[in-house]
Chain A
Amino acid sequence: MNEEKNILQDLTQQTYKEGFVTEVEQEYVPKGLSEDIIRMISAKKQEPDWLLEFRLDAFRRWQKMEEPRWGHLTLPKIDFQDIIYYAAPKKDADRPKEIDPELEKTFEKLGIPLREREALAGVVAVDAVFDSVSVTTTFRKTLAEKGIIFCSFSEAVREHPDLVRKYLASVVPVGDNYYATLNSAVFSDGSFCYIPKGVHCPMDLSSYFRINASGTGQFERTLIIADEGASVSYMEGCTAPMRDENQLHAAVVEIIVEKDADVRYSTVQNWYPGDAEGRGGILNLVTKRGICRGSGSHLSWTQVETGSAITWKYPSTILQGDNSSSEFYSVAVTNNLQQADTGTKMIHIGSNTRSRIVSKGISAGRSENSYRGLVRMNRSAAGARNFSQCDSLLIGSRCGAHTFPDIRSACPTATVEHEATTSKISEDQLFYCNQRGISPEDAVGLIVNGYARDVLSRLPMEFAVEAQKLLQVSLEGSVG
């Protein structure tokens, strides 16, 4: 029995191939959270006073707030004094501009090129974040020639303070929710991206988030601005080592889409999900929101969520500009003891605004998978339309799938449609595949990828291939 358990453990751990630790010297701020700690983080980042004040204001508000408990989740008690809020690999004092070879190796192992010549024909520009700092951002110069700013958030604060100040917290206010407010107090690094008027970004932009140090939390802050008529495709990926402890990732992403601009935001979320017994894993408590400010603007969210012990995440769009539109395409997979409560909010303010929600939940093992969504039609949203489709796929008989759709319409000319299905992978489908020589694991992969096709086909090419493999890997051991 014991041996059998070990074999099982080996198998489940093997499946998370990004679970290694990088041995690198790091500097930390002391454990715990206080105004002093926040001052320390701000000083380390050499921030201007207004940003320190922004942080302290958030911290004071946060202390009066309570953790939200409305999610269909069993959240462990988080001791916020037992977390290290800043960890950064030490720089070589003699060569501060160089990337530590260990870090380079780490990102190489993860398939993230930190050197421009290695990126094939410059397809993707990367901002690589390791714990609390950005290691490097590639193709900055190439992009700057078009007036595009793509850099770490910390650099943006130093080099483009006016832009940061103008847009920071303009979509997710400081007091928005417990985790967003915490993020506003202690955020470390993330990406900053500005596409000027009329510019189509010539390559995909991407950020890669890596948690490495133990006992730390990661507080990503990302800001994307597409000015009038601009367009950009942005991708985000993330991984972490395997540990028995839970680690917190509380991010805030804000996206501003001006008149006729187009932003496509894709995520492949592959944080460490914990082991088969539910030990460890990332607590992914994230606020992502965009605003379609100008008329005719467009924002699309595509997410593939396979990782994290707990996911609490609702990428949302405020459709303010007339004729603006937004989509949310999501595949959320939970296996073993993972829990996910994820969905979107589409807030229709402008007239003739359109939104589309396609959510595909897949639950296996003893996991719990919930879709939670809000579609709101304000009085002003004349002629607005929404279509929502929420499907759940169950594998095995011990998991749960839940749907919590919330539809509020104050506009007599708005149209809202909602469709939902729940299905199981049938024995017949599996046997059919097996009889044609396809193993049970591969069969589940085939069936699940078919089920999620509508979403996967929305991903940029290089992401789609990875996502397909990931879907299969994260469901390993779920049948048989």
Chain B
Amino acid sequence: MSEILLEIKNLHATVGEKEILKGVDLVIRRGEVHAVMGPNGAGKSTLSAVLTGRPDYVVTEGSVRYAGKDLLAMSPEERSWAGMFLSFQYPIEIPGVSITNFMKSAVNARRKAAGLPELKPAEFLKLLKEKMAFVGM
């Protein structure tokens, strides 16, 4: 078996006064694909919100280790740099900011965190074109 990538132990979390997660345990090894299923209100979104560090979600008990580190001690952007990605159910619009500009900021923020030089606008556009061709856009 491959190494453990994500290890959630007895995770409890509340939103406002309400406890939503009541002791979640989950182990995901590198290379595995898991689907979390459950009826509305089961806490699927809350689990992903807690893992990515969304504000207003308070962890009251338990621990999460990700790639050997204490995930809960990391800021949302640090979790992102470490490889956590949340696909938003309702993507947020930032008025006046084009998708291209937004993606360039995101890519360069990650490159900066990894100690890589930032991409210049022309380099980024080239990368963007490659990726667009890859997904058939």
Contacts of B96 in A (CB 8 A): 449-454
Interface residue tally on A, bucketed by range: 20 to 34
Whether A432 pairs with B88 at a CB distance below 8 angstroms is yes
CB within 8 Å of A: which of B98-135? 101-102, 105-106, 109-110, 113
CA distance A433 to B94 in the complex (A): 10
Q: B52, B56, B76 — which one has the most chain A CB atoms within 10 A of its CB?
A: B76
Q: How many chain B residues touch A (Cβ–Cβ < 8 Å)?
A: 28
CA distance A427 to B106 in the complex (A): 18
Whether A450 pairs with B77 at a CB distance below 8 angstroms is no
CA distance A439 to B92 in the complex (A): 17
Whether B113 pairs with A435 at a CB distance below 8 angstroms is no
A-B CB pair tally, cutoff 8 Å = 67
Contacts of B105 in A (CB 8 A): 433, 438, 442, 446
CA distance A23 to B54 in the complex (A): 50
CB within 8 Å of A: which of B47-94? 52-56, 75-77, 79-81, 84-86, 88, 91-92, 94
Task: Tell me whether A434 is interfacial, beta carbon within 8 Å.
Answer: yes
Whether A438 pairs with B88 at a CB distance below 8 angstroms is no
CA distance A437 to B86 in the complex (A): 11
Whether B92 pairs with A437 at a CB distance below 8 angstroms is no
Whether B94 pairs with A435 at a CB distance below 8 angstroms is no
Whether B77 pairs with A447 at a CB distance below 8 angstroms is no
Task: Tell me whether B95 is interfacial, beta carbon within 8 Å.
Answer: yes
Whether B76 pairs with A431 at a CB distance below 8 angstroms is yes
Task: Tell me whether A428 is interfacial, beta carbon within 8 Å.
Answer: yes
CA distance A434 to B97 in the complex (A): 15
CA distance A436 to B113 in the complex (A): 12
- A interface vs B, CB < 8 Å? 427-429, 431-440, 442, 446-447, 449-454
In the assembled complex, 25 residue pairs joining A and B whose CB atoms fall closer than 8 Å, in A order, are A427-B55, A431-B54, A432-B92, A434-B53, A435-B77, A435-B79, A435-B80, A435-B85, A436-B80, A436-B102, A436-B109, A437-B77, A437-B80, A437-B81, A437-B113, A438-B77, A439-B109, A442-B105, A442-B109, A446-B101, A446-B105, A450-B95, A450-B97, A451-B95, A454-B96
Additional A-B contacts beyond A433-B94, A439-B77 (20; CB < 8 A): A429-B94, A432-B88, A432-B92, A433-B105, A433-B106, A434-B53, A434-B75, A434-B77, A435-B52, A435-B84, A435-B86, A435-B88, A436-B80, A436-B106, A437-B77, A446-B101, A446-B105, A449-B96, A449-B97, A451-B96
Which 5 pairs between the two chains have the least Cβ-Cβ distance?
A450-B96, A450-B97, A434-B76, A436-B106, A453-B96
